[in-house]
Structure 1
């Protein structure tokens, strides 16, 4: 009797999985330790990926120059220009948003007590036939000076506590600064030396993999790169469309802070689907400092705009940019958000787009192989006449 051949690869995989499950707590601890060691490098690689989206077209344009100096230093020049662009954009956003937020906070501190008193007077007149309820409403007297003093005291105690733990605070700040510097430096090194990593990949694949396997992996990596780069560009385009539309509508409706709130809504909208609501809440707070009625108008307008954006603009712009049907975009955002929060919503779409394209290619190749196999079988079954 012929003995059955043992699938050693499957046996090893199953054994490893069983060992990992039986020692799950130790595995999680090891993963956390490894993540702490490489997290700065991972974030640096992510930053390099984003900057490279700006750097790559600049470098391609510089490659057309005939000047020897530019040809020799094109990568350094394109990296420097890209970093300057990123810093300029961030500085512009801060310049547009932060001063208006500070002004709105100062105005809010002045107008809230007045609105509170007006609200009390309104409810007193509304329920004047119910003395008990009027007394309850009047019992909500707030000493705003006392509130301010307590808030300042809280800040003072917080500062005192921080000073009391100065070593820990300084250590945290230094650690954050060092990690940020490592992220930036590593991103710069990756961008300046990116061709070295590409060559290393090809050498490793040529050494250890078959040509067919290398071609499949390269194709998958190109799909993943295209999906992530298209997603980031699509997010920026969609945020620009939403921010511009929001600002334009606010201009038409004569609402305050149109440019600042439009910018804020557009930037925070980078968080898929729910970002505009977060920006809208901040915008409503700012409009409220000018007029409570106008804040209601702004809320209604933004809800209508957000529904249009979530159901029409976002699936079409982002879905089309990554090559993913709109229905899959909405499913991915819902599922990814429930599994991993904002990170799941943000990363889920390009990951889903990559899987969708790879599976689509696999199905197409499998169908072609099946059709070819069926055709070969039909040709073998049809025998010529022996006459």
Structure 2
């Protein structure tokens, strides 16, 4: 047994040395492997999220003898589709209307600002005349800015042919992901049985027991995090909407929904949602936008100190300093998806590490 472990260590060290020497080749191979498997990986992630809803529905359908799995899956997909449709129909029309308001209203604010600067520098006639003589068509300037942004997005994607290619590939990959997710959900017991067969054959009972515990921790942490984030976003969005209705602010449903949904992004989501909401209110009333900012700051304090710790924090069990480190590191590596997935990943590693250290300490105390 010791000789076998020695050969395993030698083989592992050899692989590491070859990988370091041929680092460029290794990176290209990993990239090629990721491109080949990413649809399946994202499909499995989609299946995991759908299963959070599906498992709860399936428990409610215990009275059904046949077709329980297919029925619960269908109901889950319908609920998720209705939720996404609700978000799109609520946000997109109001956002389009707000952009139109911005094009109409902002020129007046710029003109008023120009007059304010002229009055402010009345003691400096040369500077006041220079500001007053600025002949800027603010409406065309804003419209040109919007066109430049649109053109920039188009240029990033590419030509018309490339745009069509990207859209077709994206739709095709999404269909493949969806089909794979459906297959995984319908046959999930088969994958679990395959895992148990392989681990029973090739792993010792102790190693298998530890691996089962680690996988259970990972599953519980991700489930708690995703479910907690959705509940917390719903509570925050509802409170934001109700507060804006009471304070008679514009776009309450749209801004409340945006604040709740974007707040799913850890740490920076609240600031992004607040900035968008403040800008939307600003198009109607600049003074009211300041009241909105004050209200949202108070709401964020309640959310950070009361709602989040009880709904998400306790279930994930990751100290605040580790959350900060995770968001910075995973955000720089993978952007917003990295921020979102990094926290439950780090929480899982943290819990497994705590169990490992506790076991080591107990063994040390027993041997000492």
**Which shows bigger deviation, 100-109 or 77-86?**
100-109
Q: Which segment drifts farther, 234-243 or 250-259? A: 250-259
CA spacing shift, 1:282–1:156, aligned 2, 3 Å: closer
TM-score calculated relative to the size of structure 2: 0.90
Residue 277 (str. 1) matches residue 276 (str. 2): no
Larger Rg: 1
CA RMSD, aligned part only? Answer: 2.8
- 2:16 maps to 1:17: yes
Counterpart of 2:327 in structure 1 is 333
| C-alpha deviation, 1:181, in angstroms | 0.7
- Is the deviation greater in 151-160 or in 91-100? 151-160
Moved more, 18-27 or 45-54: 18-27
- Alpha-carbon offset, residue 157 of structure 1: 7.8
Partner of 1:38: 37
Cα distance change of structure 1 residues 255 and 155 upon mapping to structure 2, 3 Å threshold = closer
- Answering whether residue 340 of structure 2 is matched by residue 346 of structure 1, we say yes
Secondary structure in structure 2 of the residue aligned to 1:142: coil
Structure 1 stretches of at least 4 aligned residues deviating more than 4 Å after TM superposition: 148-162
1:217 to 173, 195, 211: 211
* Aligned pair partner of 1:182 in 169, 176, 182: 176
Gaps of 5+ in 2: none
Cα distance in structure 1, aligned partners of 2:7 and 2:33? 29
Equivalents in 1 of 2:5, 2:67: separation in Å?
57
Is 1:322 aligned with 2:321? no
What is residue 58 of structure 1 aligned with on the other side? 57
Q: What TM-score does the superposition give when structure 1 sets the normalisation length?
A: 0.86
Mean Cα deviation higher: 5-14 or 136-145: 5-14
Find 2:116's aligned residue among 105, 122, 126: 122
CA-to-partner distance for each residue in 1:177-236, whole Å, 9 max, x for gaps? 111111111111111111110111111111111122111111111110000000001111
Distance 1:217 1:156 in 2: 50
Residues 28 and 315 (structure 1), Cα distance of their counterparts in 2 relative to 1, 3 Å cut = farther
Q: How do 1:1-387 residues align onto structure 2 when only pairs under 5 Å count?
A: 7-63=6-62, 65=63, 70-144=64-138, 146-147=140-141, 150=144, 165-310=159-304, 313-374=307-368
- How far the C-alpha of 1:72 sits from its partner, in A, is 1.8
The range that moved more, 143-152 or 7-16, is 143-152
Change (3 A) 1:236 1:48: same
Q: What is the alpha-carbon distance in structure 2 between the residues aligned to residue 341 and residue 216 of structure 1?
A: 32
Q: Distance in 1 between matches of 2:153 and 2:330?
A: 39
- Contact 2:115–2:132 (Cα < 8 Å) also in 1: no
Shift of 1:312: 5.0
Distance 1:352 1:270 in 2: 17
Choose 119-128 or 309-318, whichever is displaced more.
309-318
Aligned length: 365
Structure 1's unaligned 5+ residue stretches are 375-387
Looking at structure 2, the residues matched to 117 and 219 of structure 1 have their Cα atoms a distance apart, in angstroms, of: 65
Report the CA distance between 1:159 and its aligned residue. 11
Relative distance call for 1:160 and 1:350 in structure 2 (3 A) is closer
- What's the CA shift for 1:152? 8.8
C-alpha distance after superposition, 1:70-93 (max 9, x if no partner): 322111000000000000111111
**Match of 1:7, SS?**
helix
Whole-angstrom distance in 2 between the partners of 1:5 and 1:166:
59
Contact preservation (8 Å) 1:55, 1:79: yes
- Preserved CA contact (<8 Å) 2:326 2:346: yes
